[in-house]
Chains A and B, each alone.
Chain A
Amino acid sequence: MSIISSYTRGFKQSIKSPRMLLILYAVNLLSALILVLPFFQLFRNSSANTLEVNKLVDNFNFSYFVDLWYTSKDAFISLFSQIKWIVLLYWILNVFLIGGIIRVLSKEKFSISDFLSGASLNFARFLGSNLLIVFLQIILAAIIWIPFYIGIKILFDSIDNEKVIIILFFSFLILHALAAIVLMMINDYAKFHLILNNSKNIFKAVYASAKFVKSKFFSVYSLYLLLLIIPVVISYLYLKLSGDIGITTVIGLIFMFLIQQFYIFTKVWLKVWFYASQFNLFTSDFIKKERHKLNIDFIENIEDKLIEIKDKILNTDSETEEEAVG
């Protein structure tokens, strides 16, 4: 399947399950609300009936926040220190939900039981592959930034001005970003590999996925960059729009809230689109390989048979390939 067809098919698949998108969005919102509700309480209680807070309605008021920090620094630090737990919680939930997303994408229809069973069945191995990729990301960061740091230290005396350092820094940053994208793609394809091969061996899956990315580097990377364009455009549009909306009235606040939540929802949907497009690219290659293994000519019903095999594997807890084929 070509990049464009993976991309377009992914788009169609992603909009076919609005209920799933709502669930994912709700998870994001509820995770954030765990901290936001206490924040609201703390903010209001700390401000204690002051008129100064009204200055925040029209404009940002730095002095207000300085004085708020003066009186309530400890409480806010304590609250903000919980952000790391929310991030961790959301990350784990994401890992859990990815299994459900892939299940729904493969079946191309949504049911809550499918979604949850897909999520729970794959959680352990997806968590394992994610942790492995996190570890590899740390290694990657070390590989890139330690030499940067050492290089700057050694070369500092011969560097004429800070422009060199700034340019080097951003060059390394871009290099890191591009390399990190590769690891992210490997992570995604590893999940598909684990599912389609009904495997629990995360190392094998990551290795196979890396081989896949390497063999199809142009396709997978181009698809990923193509997918990245949308969030960049949406972010740009949001920034332009948000600057024009003044939150000085209740109506303005509600309007801004809706725009912002729509933006978040769009990001959630884009993530599903990402998975769908990549899944299509991966499975088309997977099917080709399986067909090759079976060594039969391409006929439509054989392809349907393969898809049926694939579905059976996806839908059963522990089923051997022979059983599924039989």
Chain B
Amino acid sequence: MFIQTPYIQNFIKNKIFIKFILITNLFFLVFQNSYSQSIYSNNFSDRIANYTISVELEPKTKVLTGKMLLEWTNTSTDSITELQFHMYLNAFKNSSSTFMRERDEAFGGIDFTEFENMWGWIDIISIKIADGEILTSNMKYIQPDDNNIDDQTVLALTLDKPISSQEIVNLEITFIAKLPEIIARTGYSDDYFFVGQWFPKIGVLESKGIRNSTETKWNCHQYHSQSEFYADFGVYNVDITLPEEYIVGATGFLTKRETNEDGSKTHYYTAKDVVDFAWAASPDFVEYEKVWKGTIIKALMQPEHESLAYRHINATILAINYFEENLGEYPYPNITIIDPPFKGMKSGGMEYPTLFTTMSLSYMPFSVKIPEMVTIHEFGHNYFMGILATNEFEEPWLDEGFNSYYESKILKNNYPVFSFLGYNIEDIEIQRAGYTLYFNPQITDIDNFAWNFPLGSYSVMSYNKPALVLKTMENLVGEETMLLIMKTYYDRWKFKHPCSNDFIEIANEIIKQEHGNDLGKNFNWFFQQTIFGTGICDFKLASISNTLTSENTSGVYDQNGVKLTVVPEETPYIYQSKVVIYRLGDVKIPVEIQVHFENGDEIIEKWDGEESLKTYFYTGTNKVTWAKVDYLDKILIDINRNNNSFTLENNNLAYLKYTNKFLFWLQNFIQTIGFLV
């Protein structure tokens, strides 16, 4: 059902419509329930952390009161005496939190007086083992990353009795939280609520062999300005109570809705095999729904953005199609798109399992594809970090970079991001510009903890450069091999916690299988330089020269005291041609060089890129007229592709064309100024 036409808008006023909606909603509830039961007949994941949460939101005070039952399994081989929890909302508690200090440092001079009444926090009121000991007094805040004693985003709970390997523990927790006015991702704006990272969330216990762990330890980082999240898979059963006028969208699917005696409504949601649970509520949401290949796509739009609903839904469909064809089936029965209001825009562009927030602006021209770009990117996160649940704290490139790579591919297949008066710019070009124009692309490597990226480099090194690296890799190994690598990576690591080395291992395996030793013993030489190194790649076709050889001479020569005039023979000139290539950057990648002769002949040379300088010599009757290194434009990480080629036959048409454009623009500009003033 897709509500769009004026006929339907008139229909809305009709009471029959009310009944139609009720019946349809009932149908969808039944449909979702039965569908979900069938698709979830098997566990997708280990379901290590399962939550049953009852929460009530008081919109006036912005307070959440909740109680939860956490069922957690110690999957390690060791007994543990401590549990660690993320208390993310405490990042917004005061200006001394790590998040706020880092944000102040990044953006300089935040006026915290603006934040009066806007702070947010979370407290555990009580915590106990179900039918067991009360542990409330065993809590303390710790700061594993930066020793900032004022930061309260990680809570350690000392256990009275250790939890053995493979033991399941049930914890009953009551908590209270105050939502902040939206500073980043979560909070409220007027009566719009986006509730993410809102409950005490257990960290990930990584035992030996999980990711890079050599011993069993908690991987539970503080909430940093530049970091996102990491959690185990589980089942979430969440009931949310709030005033009846609020429309709710959440992770998972709605199983039932009840009206309470006080007039409030409780919405019951279930989400299985997910790493997080987020939800949004607003009395202003307008619902749009479409079923695509069995997936229910729901968009909760602000009234002023309704005209953009179809853009978000269509973009989601494109993304579903692409990912299912090229990576793996989307395993969940639904996806919810949340459209924040303008004043809640800081919650936009963010991902959660089976739910994401997008970005819309009234009067957004159709030619500007920002809504589509954000939607496709955020949907993609369901795969990268939602299903391939990488550690966003420690390896942000594994979700952001991979997602940016797929975002470019999906957009390229369908439309450029910006199109205006015939000027088209593709997404991958914007990614590349972000990297090449960054003031110091060598400032750090991709593989870095999120909060350790030097100022301003987080997005370049997590989004832009990894997308280019993956695209370059695709160009080098071939599209089919890359497809196989990604599918294998997805199949082996879905619903688990892969790390960089896991991906690299699969890449090496598949490349070896498909290409033998053509690309080296393994592909580590590429990863070492592009992911773990800081060098830049820059090949330059430095010069071409064509020199006449002495075989063909003419002129006056002294021979035995006699002046002898030599007339050139009637044979073609012989040229000694030289093509010189520099490797200006530290990154060494095998390249192909196309050398073109004046008679149209071409030679393709292959160079391993090891030396800093490479020279090719040719002898023949035809001059070399132009040459190009990386002639197929495979290496997107090359920081300057304009110097990849050299020609002796300049085509001035392009220069004249754009000079003419500049002339016209300038003439217009000064004429207009002269007219106006």
A residues at B contact (CB < 8 Å): 28-29, 31-33, 35-36, 39-40, 43-44, 47-57, 59-60, 62-64, 66-71, 83, 86-87, 90-91, 94, 130, 133-134, 137, 156, 159-163, 165-166, 180, 184, 239, 243, 247, 249-250, 253, 256-257, 260, 263-264, 267-268, 271
Contacts and interface: CB of A to CB of B under 8 A. Distances in A.
Interface stretch (B272-280, B489-497, B649-657): B649-657
Contact of A163 (B362, B628, B670): B362
A29 B657 CA distance: 17
Contact of A62 (B433, B655, B671): B433
A162 B362 contact: yes
Contacts of B642: 47-48, 50, 52-53, 64, 67-68, 71
Contacts of B626: 51
26 contacts: A28-B667, A32-B670, A35-B666, A36-B659, A44-B655, A49-B647, A51-B628, A52-B642, A52-B644, A57-B657, A59-B424, A60-B424, A67-B640, A69-B437, A83-B666, A87-B669, A90-B673, A159-B343, A161-B302, A162-B362, A243-B421, A250-B653, A260-B663, A264-B667, A267-B671, A271-B674
Contact of A253 (B437, B660, B673): B660
A86 B642 CA distance: 30
Contact of A70 (B342, B429, B639, B656): B639
Interface string B483-522: 0000000000000000000000000000000000000000
A181 to B, nearest CB: 9
Contacts of B644: 50, 52
Contacts of B657: 56-57, 247, 253
B651 A32 contact: no
Contact of A243 (B303, B422, B639, B652): B422
A151 B674 CA distance: 32
Contact of A49 (B436, B650, B674, B677): B650
Interface-centre pick from A40, A156, A264 (highest chain B CB count, 10 A): A40
Nearest to B665: A32
B660 to A, nearest CB: 6
Contacts of A66: 429, 432-433, 436-437
A37 to B, nearest CB: 9
Given A36-B666, A70-B640, A52 B655 contact: no
A32 B666 contact: yes
A268 B645 contact: no
Contacts of B106: none
Interface-centre pick from A29, A47, A63, A160 (highest chain B CB count, 10 A): A63
A57 B654 contact: yes
Specify the main secondary structure of chain A where it touches its partner.
helix
A59 B190 CA distance: 47
A287 B342 CA distance: 58
A47 B660 CA distance: 17
Interface size class of B (residues with CB under 8 A): 35 or more
Contacts of B437: 66, 69-70
Contacts of B9: none
B46 to A, nearest CB: 44
Contacts of B656: 40, 253
A134 B429 CA distance: 42
B422 A52 contact: no
A257 B437 CA distance: 32
B11 to A, nearest CB: 25
Contacts of B647: 49-51
B1 interface: no
Given A33-B663, A52-B645, A90-B673, 20 more contacts: A28-B670, A29-B667, A44-B650, A51-B626, A51-B645, A59-B424, A60-B422, A60-B423, A62-B426, A62-B430, A64-B642, A66-B437, A71-B640, A86-B670, A91-B677, A161-B342, A180-B676, A253-B653, A264-B664, A267-B675
A133 B676 CA distance: 11
Interface-centre pick from A31, A53, A87, A264 (highest chain B CB count, 10 A): A53
Contact of A54 (B426, B436, B651, B658): B651
B304 interface: yes
A55 to B, nearest CB: 8
B366 interface: no
B666 A86 contact: yes
B664 A260 contact: yes
A83 B652 CA distance: 24
B341 interface: yes
A289 to B, nearest CB: 29
Contact of B341 (A39, A161, A257): A161
B663 A32 contact: yes
7 residue pairs, one from A and one from B, having the closest CB atoms: A162-B342, A51-B645, A56-B654, A94-B674, A67-B642, A90-B670, A40-B659
Contacts of A51: 626, 628, 645-647
B641 interface: yes
B69 to A, nearest CB: 39
A301 B479 CA distance: 90
B455 interface: no
Interface in B426-448: 426, 429-430, 432-433, 436-437
Contact of A71 (B341, B643, B659, B674): B643
B361 interface: yes
Nearest to B638: A67
Contacts of B302: 161
A70 B644 CA distance: 14
B641 A67 contact: yes
B25 interface: no
B648 interface: yes
B645 to A, nearest CB: 4
A306 to B, nearest CB: 31
B432 A50 contact: no
B660 A256 contact: yes
